[in-house]
Structure 1
């Protein structure tokens, strides 16, 4: 397996607020809503609307964003490839959590039903 430590460090220091607008643009271009995006983020992290807004305004890193999250117990059901990596095989916990979020946003943008995205 190749060394991804530099990649992992870069992800940890990325600011959530700078990536969030890209999530919104991606899903809205495909006819989904910001409310649906927030539902997906809340399912994954436990963050409600006001906490999410606070984190965005505070310009936190992904490291901080996920350090305060209460991950859904069903995250292990998120499987598949995102950004060239199989999410269930990523060994760095934070990188895996960020890729879980990327995968869920991708599924939302692809028109997958919400019940499937949030693994009901």
Structure 2
């Protein structure tokens, strides 16, 4: 079976869309970065290096220093699919991130988004 197109897209090509979505709703780039760091375990410097390298989504998540164990608490629907029911691990990680950015844009507090 062929890989989904998103796997080969560079994370850096989608990242500005996350920022735009958040900023349209009065949120900040720093909050987007904090969500990404929480989910993946990247430091800010490591995140910026991944963006600089134009790492694709598949490797962005494969190289993540420490995927947050609390990410399993992320529930809900993204693109008509329940994130907790996605069986393919990389796609689930991508949709977890999409869901967190959606929550940020909908005005949820960072504390709730980061499942504290």
Identify the match of residue 112 of structure 2 among 109, 116, 119.
116
Structural RMSD (CA): 1.0
Which residue matches 1:99?
95
The unaligned stretches of length 5 or more in structure 2 are none
Which residue matches 1:37?
32
CA apart distance, 1:48: 1.4
Q: How many residues are treated as equivalent by the alignment?
A: 115
The unaligned stretches of length 5 or more in structure 1 are none
TM-score (norm 2): 0.95
SS at match of 2:54: coil
TM-score (norm 1): 0.92
Which residue matches 1:49?
44
For residues 76-101 of structure 1, the C-alpha deviation after alignment (integer angstroms, 9 at most, x for no partner) is: 10000001110000011000000000
Structure 1: which 4+ aligned runs deviate by more than 2 Å?
none
Identify the match of residue 5 of structure 2 among 4, 7, 10.
10
